Amino acid sequence: MRTLNRLNLLMNTLRISGNEMADCLHVDNSLVSKWRNGRRELRPDTVYMADILRYVVKLDEPGGYPRLRSLLGQEFPENDPSSGELEAVLRRWLSAPVSAEEQYSAVQSPVGRMCAGVEKTDDYLLHGSIGARQGSRILMKMAEESGDPNELILLSNSSMDWLFENKEFFSEWVRFCKKIAASGSLKIFVPVVNPYRVLSDILLRQVGIFALKNVKTVFIPKYKDDTFYYTILLLRRKMALQCFSTNPASDDALFRLSADSRVVGDLEKLAESFLSRSRPLFNQYDFGAYNKYVNEIIGTQESGASQYQYGYPAPLFIEAETLTEILKENRISGGEYEEMYHVLSTLNSRAQSRCFVDLDRVARALNKDKVEIPRLSYLIGKPIRVSSGLFRRMMEESIAAIERSDQTEVGLESLDESYGLGDAEVIAKENLCVYYRTVGSPRPVVLEMKEMTCVMSVYSELEAVWNGIPRLNRNKEFCLRKLRELLNRTEQER
């Protein structure tokens, strides 16, 4: 009895008739009928079960097993499975007890209605986070196989844990976005999202995507219904993955993957309506506009705003003599750089700063022959690279300056692992600035954000991360001692 409804559901989902199954197994149709009506048990260890599994897997293989994905939901293997792996999952599924809800869903659920009596469909329902990633992979595959420049749109006011929680998938997603941005375009809509943690996650984890060329990131300051949640991933004119709900996203959420031109067209119109009431989220600076950027930073630091810094603490704490040597090493002359640096370093010493320091990151830099300093590069207006010895001196001077300062705190914590941040960042209550090196570019990009709702969400998140650092790792004397020990150890190793 255990395989009765599941075998029926499997055959109905893949639209396999009793005669077709009998022909495949080289048995009489009456035997298949007995399996389906419960008068004969289909044992999981029989040759018939093995033949059924091979048949259905091969039948649904074109397109990446779309109907089996819909049928198995969360039980479908997350990464692209081999046929053997999928057969093993199906064997367990067919042999498991059947609930009353599953018996009902075979006839009444959207999946059942979608599959029953339909020759061909362009729509599939996928379940929860795993389903969302499965649908995204199908969409990515379609984009890559089309060979055309694609336009991708991402819009969500709900938790996007399904995108971030699986590191392997998120790496795939970032690579995909880079391909899209290289030959087409990408629009990312960031609506007001509550709580702040959800908004900060969306902002921090996608910094590397925001910094790409041909990426337009816009902010939607308000949406009509605070109790309506949505996620839309749209490949224009081709495919859409969507989830609409009155509840925040959860493992029970249903995502609809559709290649129906009417559905895709309607979602394109919806995205355009959002675009009409949005505004750019970031100012993006390249070296050609660095003077304007420097003025923005001066304006922020003159206000004495408290800020979080991530990356090497060196660039704004070094002595004038060291700066002169750095400029000389990079074949730069002119007193305007020293003057500008002096203004910024003076302002920096007045601001209340909390510096996240990643010892592993500093160690990697100390072992390089040349180290690029993104923040200093941007202040000067061209890539600045320093020798290992000069970088070591910068670190020693920074440690001494931080030790003397009553305005600067230090915490040993890696934000790269959690958020994949760029080379360095400054986050103040007045704005958010991120220095980021994009793949294939010799120069860093600076993103500046002034939307206060977004800035405060990031600020609150980093404040929570800071408060979560063990107290010892926030003790300035302990942190600076660890930095000095690292400098001494790497010096001996070299």
CB atoms within 10 A of CB 426: 25
CB atoms within 10 A of CB 422: 23
492 — pLDDT class (breaks 50, 70, 90)? confident
Instruction: Give the residue, 229 or 114, on which the prediction is more confident.
Output: 229
Q: Give me the chain's average pLDDT, please.
A: 78
Q: With beta carbons less than 8 A apart as the criterion, state whether 308 and 419 touch.
A: no
Average pLDDT over residues 5-10: 74
Instruction: Give the residue, 486 or 378, on which the prediction is more confident.
Output: 486
Tell me: the pLDDT tens digits for 221-238?
Answer: 765 445 677 889 999 988
29 — pLDDT class (breaks 50, 70, 90)? confident
CATH architecture of 124-280: 2-Layer Sandwich (3.30)
Q: What's the rounded Cα separation, in Å, for the pair 435 and 424?
A: 5
Topology (CATH level 3) of domain 283-493: Endonuclease; Chain A (3.30.870)
Average pLDDT over residues 157-168: 85
Q: How far is CA 138 from CA 15, 64, 80, in A?
A: 22, 7, 10
Q: What is the pLDDT of residue 247?
A: 64
Q: 487: closest CA among 387, 396, 369?
A: 396
Q: What's the rounded Cα separation, in Å, for the pair 180 and 410?
A: 39
Average pLDDT over residues 210-214: 83
Q: What's the rounded Cα separation, in Å, for the pair 7 and 15?
A: 12
Q: What is the pLDDT of residue 2?
A: 37
Q: What's the rounded Cα separation, in Å, for the pair 270 and 4?
A: 43
Q: What is the pLDDT of residue 177?
A: 92
Q: How far is CA 435 from CA 116, 127, 246, 401, in A?
A: 53, 37, 37, 23
CB atoms within 10 A of CB 134: 31
pTM for this structure?
0.68
Q: List the chain domain ranges.
A: 4-111, 124-280, 283-493
Highest mean pLDDT among 101-115, 192-206, 440-454: 192-206
Interhelix angle 4-13/83-95, rounded to 10 degrees, is: 140
Number of H helices, E strands in the chain: 23, 17
**482 has pLDDT over 90:** yes
Tokens of 196: 């702040």
Per-residue buried b or exposed e for 46-77, using 16+ beta carbons within 10 Å of the residue's own CB: eebbeebbebbbebbeeeebbbbbbbbbeebb
Q: What is the pLDDT of residue 3?
A: 38
Q: What is the pLDDT of residue 114?
A: 34
Tell me: the pLDDT tens digits for 303-358?
Answer: 656 777 776 665 567 777 887 888 888 887 766 666 666 666 665 666 678 888 88
124-280 shares its CATH topology with 283-493: yes
How wide is the angle at C-alpha 312 spanned by C-alphas 290 and 464, nearest 5°? 100
Instruction: Give the residue, 412 or 197, on which the prediction is more confident.
Output: 412
121 — pLDDT class (breaks 50, 70, 90)? very low
462 — pLDDT class (breaks 50, 70, 90)? confident
**243 has pLDDT over 90:** no
Tokens of 332: 């730069």
